[in-house]
Copies of this chain bind each other. A is one copy, B any other.
Amino acid sequence: MTRSPLLLGLDAGGSGTKWTLVRAGQSVASGRTAPFTAALLGTPAGDAALAELGAALPGRPDAAHAGVPGLSAGSDRAAQVAAALAGTLRVDAAHLSLEGDLDLAYRSHLSPGAGVLLYAGTGSVAYHVGRAGEVVRAGGRGYRIGDDGAGFSLGRAALRVLTAAIDRGQEPDSPLAREVRAVTGGTDWDTLRSFTYGDPGASAVARLAPAVSRAAEAGDAEASHLIEEAAQSLAELARRVQEQAGPLPVTATGGALRSPLLAAALGRALPGVNVQQRDHAEAAARYAGAQFGG
């Protein structure tokens, strides 16, 4: 009896690369290494991230599949990333495939044509892949314009509540202010400014989203209102895709929806939505098996 092949799945992204190894249908190892995206390919940071990934894997995979931000399957850039990954992972290039991170996220939850994936992490996007591979999307415009309802926008909204109080000469001391203070170290403007505009800047703001959720759980009316607004914004993204792709069911996922209050609010704003969390790296490994055997 031949041993089952070892399958690697990668969920690459700007904040880290999640990897999972699957054998005979079981996850046998997983981990997280430095960020790797198509944009990092060929840079010192990208080279270091690839080397770290290669060193972290406890075995040589027989096949691999990866989701990488900003990549279209079949593009020149995808071929370059595939070659780099095949070399690092010592995987036969014929047993390695790539797609965009949103395509992998969609694949992890839904079959082509089956629904709309609503993702809410630091940013937000609604995404549909049709039976013929056609894509309809809404949102995902980044923190300077959009990403409404997700982590950055919740953190931004909390900071707006506090700075409006400061404008009115009030010392913020609501549950929301206390939860924010626990993250930022203070709710005076000098501290909030350093938190918002210092290093690491924009991604720090998203770290306030759980504080909003905790404040709402503690009964803070403004925090509860921000959660409701976020849910409405996310529902709107899903509806924009439904307007294009048809009245398909919506599956919602992403770190922001680990907040039970936001998930519940989304259920009210978008009746019938199915909130679920899955390991996209593990889904990638299973897909490698489906494609290349395993």
User: Which A residues are within 8 Å of any B CB, using their own CB?
Assistant: 136-139, 141-146, 156, 159-160, 163-164, 167-169, 189, 193, 196-197, 201-202, 205, 237, 240-241, 243-244
Q: List 28 A-B residue pairs with CB atoms under 8 Å apart, sorted by A's residue number.
A: A136-B169, A137-B167, A138-B167, A138-B168, A139-B167, A141-B159, A141-B160, A141-B163, A141-B189, A141-B193, A141-B196, A142-B196, A142-B197, A143-B144, A144-B156, A144-B197, A144-B201, A144-B205, A145-B156, A145-B159, A145-B163, A146-B160, A164-B240, A167-B237, A167-B240, A168-B240, A168-B243, A169-B244
Residue with the greatest number of chain B CB neighbours at <10 A, chosen from A136, A138, A143: A138
Rounded to whole Å, the gap between the CB of A148 and the closest CB of chain B is 9
For the complex of A and B, list the 8 residue pairs with the smallest distance between their C-beta atoms, beginning with the closest: A138-B167, A167-B240, A145-B159, A141-B163, A169-B244, A144-B196, A145-B160, A145-B156
Considering the complex, give the chain B residue whose CB is closest to the CB of A141: B163
Cα distance, A244 to B201, chains bound together (Å): 31
Rounded to whole Å, the gap between the CB of A225 and the closest CB of chain B is 17
Question: Do A244 and B168 contact each other (CB < 8 Å), given the known contacts A142-B197, A196-B145, A202-B144?
Answer: yes
Copy number of this protein in the oligomer? 2
Residues in chain B near residue A167, CB distance under 8 A = 137-139, 237, 240-241
Cα distance, A244 to B170, chains bound together (Å): 10
Given A168-B243, A169-B243, 5 new contacts (CB under 8 A): A141-B159, A141-B189, A142-B196, A144-B196, A146-B160
Residues in chain B near residue A139, CB distance under 8 A = 167
Residues in chain B near residue A241, CB distance under 8 A = 167
Residues in chain B near residue A136, CB distance under 8 A = 169
Cα distance, A241 to B167, chains bound together (Å): 7
Cα distance, A164 to B164, chains bound together (Å): 28
Residue with the greatest number of chain B CB neighbours at <10 A, chosen from A159, A169, A244: A169
Cα distance, A243 to B143, chains bound together (Å): 32
Rounded to whole Å, the gap between the CB of A70 and the closest CB of chain B is 10
Residues in chain B near residue A159, CB distance under 8 A = 141, 145
A193 touches B142 (CB 8 A): yes
Residues in chain B near residue A163, CB distance under 8 A = 141, 145-146
Residues in chain B near residue A144, CB distance under 8 A = 143, 156, 196-197, 201-202, 205
Cα distance, A159 to B205, chains bound together (Å): 21
Cα distance, A193 to B144, chains bound together (Å): 10
Residue with the greatest number of chain B CB neighbours at <10 A, chosen from A167, A196, A241, A244: A167
